[in-house]
Structure 1
Amino acid sequence: MDKDSAGLGHRGCDHVFFIGFLGAGKTTVARNLGNMFHRSFVDVDRMVERELHESVARIFETRGEAAFRRAETRSLESLRSRQSLLVSCGGGIVEGPDNARIMHEMGSIVYLDGTLEDSLRQIRRPEKRPDLGDLEHARALYAHRRPLYEEAADYRVSISGKTFEQVAYDVAGLLWERGLL
């Protein structure tokens, strides 16, 4: 039984939120689906950058992760007045104590699930990923976040061994079947 049929579904908004580890392809999948289905997509990290007038890496460096996480939650809250968005969330969105609840109130959450290696293979500019750190830190972060993603997710789509295009088609099929696209 998915969370929607268990009575935990959203009211009002009908957004689809994409969560997963760094490099899982959340932004690419949201953009591809937006183009395929003529739906608007937004990237929460870009929203935070616009609000704070700095890159994510710079925000982490100058203001700290806590300030970034607060801005991230404000960005999520700002989506309440909009409809039918495809929302790419940063890899750490599940770190915010209220973020999963906020997303569930506004829509459905799709977890792009893969191994740490799947994600690391996709990261082209690790310097833009301030919470990634070295390989040991990345392993610990992945182990910490994976159960948070699983708990938050309404749906899970595997990214292992697939191109972003294949993942987008898999997600599109799932969302279409559920009446979410």
Structure 2
Amino acid sequence: MEQGTTGYVVHEGCDHIFFVGFLGAGKSTLARNLGKLFRRSYVDTDRMVERALGKTVCDIFSEDGEDEFRRGEARVLERLRERKSLLVSCGGGIVEGPASCELMHQMGTIVFLDGDLEDSLRQIRHPELRPDYDTPESARALYAHRRPLYERECDLRIDIRGKDFEQVASEAAQLLWEKGLL
């Protein structure tokens, strides 16, 4: 990393920021808004997998299975090596794929949006579009399973409990700026 003539930090190599967290944590909204604020491109891994496989996430899960979806995630992440400085909203289950976790660590920083399950459940507007969400009870089990994975894989954590979106965005921007990542 070096200081550019414009006063901005110039990063060498891949320097993506990967936002992970449970369903409804606000990963996509945060990546999109920080991207606009800091003039950085943002992508969503679920949308990338859908385009690559020509199916919705739900269709991939039901027709091809979760393992195929996880392989698709790893393939789209691999393609991000060719780009720089992306803000990447990751699907809630990306931490289930060891290949994806390894790729994220190689290409940048993993930020865990750490919230309560109840907050996440309130944010899910279309549960029918979430293949890994059946009932609140199954969501609790999934959350209990994934939380340690998020904790293990993250480089940075942002506590989103009891905060509105503006507070989370401000805290994320400040933390990432202070770390020299934005």
TM-score for both structures, normalised by structure 1: 0.92
Cross-structure match for 1:119: 120
Q: What is the CA-CA distance between 1:161 and the residue it aligns to? A: 1.2
Q: What is the CA-CA distance between 1:164 and the residue it aligns to? A: 1.9
Which segments of structure 1 move beyond 6 Å, counting only runs of 4 or more?
none
- Residue-pair matches, total: 171
**Paired-residue identity, %:** 67
Partner SS, residue 69 of structure 1:
helix
CA distance in 1, matches of 2:51, 2:171: 31
Structure 2: segments with no counterpart, 5+ residues: 1-11
CA distance in 2, matches of 1:29, 1:88: 8
CA distance in 1, matches of 2:173, 2:67: 34
Question: 2:121 touches 2:136 (CA, 8 Å); kept in 1?
Answer: no
CA distance in 2, matches of 1:137, 1:17: 26
Question: 1:18 touches 1:110 (CA, 8 Å); kept in 2?
Answer: yes
Q: Which amino acid in structure 1 is aligned with residue 83 of structure 2?
A: R
- Whether 1:71 and 2:72 are equivalent positions in the alignment is yes
Cross-structure match for 1:177: 178
Cross-structure match for 2:156: 155
CA distance in 1, matches of 2:25, 2:87: 16
In the TM superposition, 1:1-181 aligns within 5 A as 12-181=13-182
* Greater gyration radius: 2
Partner SS, residue 113 of structure 2:
strand
Cross-structure match for 1:4: none
Q: Which amino acid in structure 2 is aligned with residue 177 of structure 1?
A: E
Q: What root-mean-square deviation, in Å, do the aligned CA atoms of Structure 1 and Structure 2 show?
A: 0.9
Q: What is the CA-CA distance between 1:100 and the residue it aligns to? A: 1.5
TM-score for both structures, normalised by structure 2: 0.92
Q: Which amino acid in structure 2 is aligned with residue 114 of structure 1?
A: G
Structure 1: segments with no counterpart, 5+ residues: 1-10
Question: 2:16 touches 2:87 (CA, 8 Å); kept in 1?
Answer: yes
Q: Which has the higher contact order (CA 8 A, sep 6+)?
A: 1
